[in-house]
Amino acid sequence: MVYDRPAAPGELAAVEAFGNSARFLHDEDAFADVAGTRAWLRAHDWRDAADELDEPARRELVQAREAIRGHLAGTGSAELNDYARRLLQPPQWRDGQVVIPTAHGSAVEMLIGRLIATLVIDGLAGKPGRLKVCRADDCRWLYYDRSPGNNSIWCSMDICGARHKMRAYRTRRKA
């Protein structure tokens, strides 16, 4: 199965890629161990984070990924608020753009801070809610909703949408 949606625009592409480091539908997680996490970080040009990565930092990345996913799914933002308090500095303006600098810390903390700052800036731009989590509990793939009504709920109609429709059909047939 292939996810056929184009990547999120601009800086949101990094947040989307980070969230999709786990393919739950296929029982794959690039962050399952330190070696896999390092390889994934290097492949996505986060070499500083890969170079300093150890087991506690790997667990922090997994926790941050799930906090971002929870926020985007609307199931909670408390952890994201904690990250923001700890890892972000007050907003600034540079060349007419809002910038939210990350606090000084480890390369992994700087990476997490940059991803969260991207979500904050997206929200400030008045277009939040386009980066979503697939509603299928066994999928939870992140995707950018380009539909005019911003009402997509599945990562792909060919994958999760079709499975949902088939389950609903079978349920109705049994009844």
Q: CB within 8 A of 171, min separation 6: which ones?
A: none
Residues of the chain with confidence (pLDDT) below 70: 1-3, 126-128, 157-159, 161-172
Q: What is the full DSSP assignment across 39-61?
A: HHHHHTT-HHHHHH--HHHHHHH
Domain ranges of the chain: 12-128
pLDDT of residue 154: 79
Cα 80 to Cα 12, 14, 67, 75, 154: the distances in Å are 16, 17, 6, 11, 24
pLDDT of residue 162: 61
Query: What are the backbone dihedrals phi and psi of residue 103, each rounded to the nearest 5 degrees, phi first?
Result: -70, 155
- Amino acid letter, 54: D
pLDDT of residue 129: 80
Q: What is the full DSSP assignment across 79-97?
A: HHHHHHHHHBPPPEEETTE
pLDDT tens digit sequence for 113-138: 999 999 999 888 766 689 999 988 88
pLDDT of residue 163: 61
pLDDT of residue 90: 93
Beta bridge partners of 131: 144
